């Protein structure tokens, strides 16, 4: 069994290495033909004219991910705290499967919901045509909820019960014991949950493509359409060729490095907290 477990672990590592090798082998030659700085900071994406600037897509990915976290992360963490410390057992047996069901809904179903419900709501409430950055943020906030809730709940449950009981014994109320003792003790696990939520939001494609407007231009406002890096790759990969194809692979390299930097930042913050 030790060999089986080792083989499983090595297979996971091999999969990551193969993805890295493919992306960099296919994407790095593009930077020998196009200036890297111009590619990253260019504000225009016109492949037919040989103009490749992905700054609008980078900003679109950052804004949508940040907006989704701003809307979804506090709600998810508070939900996890409620499920662990305040939820009655009978209600927990209903809420827990409901959260798990949210995680199992396909992206296209979320996209259809956003297209038929959130887009008209945003259009009628805030104006514009509804397909905008705000719509994408709301939809992604819903999609990252189950990921953050489940991981944060596990982190909070892993805190020794003696922490909570000791706080109560010192005279603190239940609420103070939870938010001043239990939650800080589970901070690293909650941060891991947020990082996983970031990964889900950054990598989401289909749902965002259906509600974000898909306009390859600099973000002009929260009610205007945008395009993310993942959507840009999916929309144009089917007919891309030559330098255009290489530009899309290079966009994937940038996205991979972006996610890697987020994980490295989390690891650094986690080590600092442990110290």
Residue 184 lies in a domain: yes
Is the CB of residue 78 less than 8 Å from the CB of residue 148?
A: no
For residue 10, what are the contacts with CB-CB under 8 A and spacing of at least 6?
A: none
Structure tokens at 136: 């994408």
> How many domains does the chain fold into?
1
Q: What is the pLDDT of residue 275?
A: 64
Q: What is the pTM of this model?
A: 0.85
Q: What is the pLDDT of residue 148?
A: 92
Whichever domain contains 142, its CATH number is 1.10.3720.10
Helical ranges in the chain per DSSP H: 2-27, 36-41, 55-81, 89-104, 107-113, 119-126, 133-157, 161-169, 174-177, 183-185, 187-203, 206-211, 229-237, 243-274
What is the radius of gyration, based on Cα positions, of the chain? 22
Residue-number span of the structural domain to which 185 is assigned: 61-213+238-274
Residue 50 lies in a domain: no
Structure tokens at 91: 């209600």
Residue 30 lies in a domain: no
User: Residue 194 pLDDT more than 70?
Assistant: yes
Taking phi over 0 as left and psi of -120 to 50 as alpha, with beta for the rest, 257 belongs to alpha
Residue 48 lies in a domain: no
Residue 42 lies in a domain: no
Q: What is the pLDDT of residue 45?
A: 86
232 or 263: which leads in pLDDT = 232
């Amino acid at each position: 069994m030790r060999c089986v477990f080792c083989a499983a672990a090595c297979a996971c590592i091999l999969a990551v290495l193969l993805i890295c090798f493919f992306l960099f082998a296919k994407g790095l030659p593009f930077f020998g033909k196009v200036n890297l700085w111009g590619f990253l900071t260019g504000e225009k994406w016109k492949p037919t004219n040989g103009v490749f600037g992905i700054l609008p897509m980078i900003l679109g990915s950052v804004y949508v991910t940040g907006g989704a976290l701003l809307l979804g992360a506090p709600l998810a963490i508070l939900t996890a705290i409620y499920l662990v410390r305040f939820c009655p057992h009978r209600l927990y047996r209903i809420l827990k499967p409901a959260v798990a069901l949210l995680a199992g809904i396909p992206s296209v179903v979320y996209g259809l919901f956003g297209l038929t419900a959130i887009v008209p709501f945003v259009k009628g409430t805030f104006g514009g045509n509804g397909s905008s950055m705000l719509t994408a943020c709301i939809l992604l906030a819903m999609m990252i909820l189950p990921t953050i809730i489940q991981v944060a709940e596990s982190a909070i449950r892993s805190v020794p019960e003696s922490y909570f009981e000791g706080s109560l014994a010192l005279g603190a109320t239940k609420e103070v014991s939870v938010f001043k003792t239990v939650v800080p003790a589970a901070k690293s696990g909650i941060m891991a949950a947020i990082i996983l939520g970031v990964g889900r939001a950054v990598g989401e494609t289909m749902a965002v493509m259906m509600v974000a407007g898909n306009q390859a231009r600099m973000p002009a406002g929260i009610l205007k359409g945008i395009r993310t890096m993942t959507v840009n790759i999916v929309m144009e990969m089917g007919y891309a060729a030559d330098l255009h194809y290489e530009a899309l692979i290079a966009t994937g390299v940038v996205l991979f490095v972006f996610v890697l930097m987020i994980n490295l930042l989390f690891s650094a913050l986690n080590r600092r907290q442990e110290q």
